Amino acid sequence: MLYKYFKKSIALFTFLIIWELLPASGIISKTFLSPPSEVFQALVKLIISGELWIHTSISLQRAFTGFALAVITMIPLGFLMGWYRAFEEISDGLIQAMRQVSSLSLFPVFLLFFGIGEISKIAVIFWGAQWPLLLNTINGVKSVDLLLIKSARSMGSNDISIFRKVILPSSIPSLFIGLRLSATHSILVLVAAEMIGATSGLGYSIKNWEFNFMIPEMYAAIVVLAVLGLITNYSLVWIEKKTVKWKEEI
């Protein structure tokens, strides 16, 4: 167990050491690349002053609201579209076209409609987060083993029962792929949106600190974002493992 963690961290530590040495040896100017030791100091300062929490909490709020809205609307919609073929056949063309519309290209449109406030940012995150959820849910429903449906029908299951006891559990693995992609997407869109049109949040801070030449602070914010991404992904993987106990380990 300990050995496993050791193996996993070798590359990470090597990376940190090279990162520390590059600016220290003067190969790369300290003005552009702050060494991890300084980034860490900046991070501690930002934590103590409470500034980091202000930006992180507002960012999390935006990302989570957009993501949650996508989850509650797109998962049910995905089930509907996967289950009723006719519904999907009608809407497929529209969906394929719409999902090609880049989230960020729509941000000015959302700004126009909703102003610079929270709604425009949540809307653009929602837009980016919805597609992986919708498409993976549809895919999960459509890839259910027809033999299982046949088998359930032979044991007297009606449509509702088949949906609840066959379609739903069998689409859960695909659903989790959608959740993870969509969560990653939420953070990505969040940062870009905050850089373009916000006065708070981690995305705004990265741009703002770069602008004011607070380079260690800028790197600290980037690190925080990476850690947030890691935490999100691993918690979803953990929930998936708890939910999908029955799946064969690959």
To the nearest whole angstrom, how small is the minimum distance from the Cβ of residue 161 to other proteins? 6
Of 157 and 233, CB closest to other proteins: 157
Could you say whether residue 245 binds other proteins (CB under 8 A)? yes
Q: What token pair was written down for 60?
A: 């999390």
To the nearest whole angstrom, how small is the minimum distance from the Cβ of residue 243 to other proteins? 9
Of 170 and 184, CB closest to other proteins: 170
Could you say whether residue 77 binds other proteins (CB under 8 A)? no
* Total Cβ atoms within 10 A of residue 218: 21
Q: Say if residues 209 and 164 touch (Cβ distance below 8 Å).
A: no
Of 34 and 137, CB closest to other proteins: 137
Place of tokens 């929490």: 53
Could you say whether residue 244 binds other proteins (CB under 8 A)? yes
Q: Which one of the spans 39-47, 52-60, 75-83, 148-156 is the region binding other proteins (CB under 8 A)?
A: 148-156
Tell me the DSSP string of 8-31: HHHHHHHHHHHHHHHHHTTSS-TT
Q: Which of residues 162-191 bind other proteins (CB under 8 A)?
A: 165-166, 169-170, 172
Give the footprint of other proteins on this chain (CB under 8 A). Answer: 145, 147-148, 150-157, 161, 165-166, 169-170, 172, 244-248
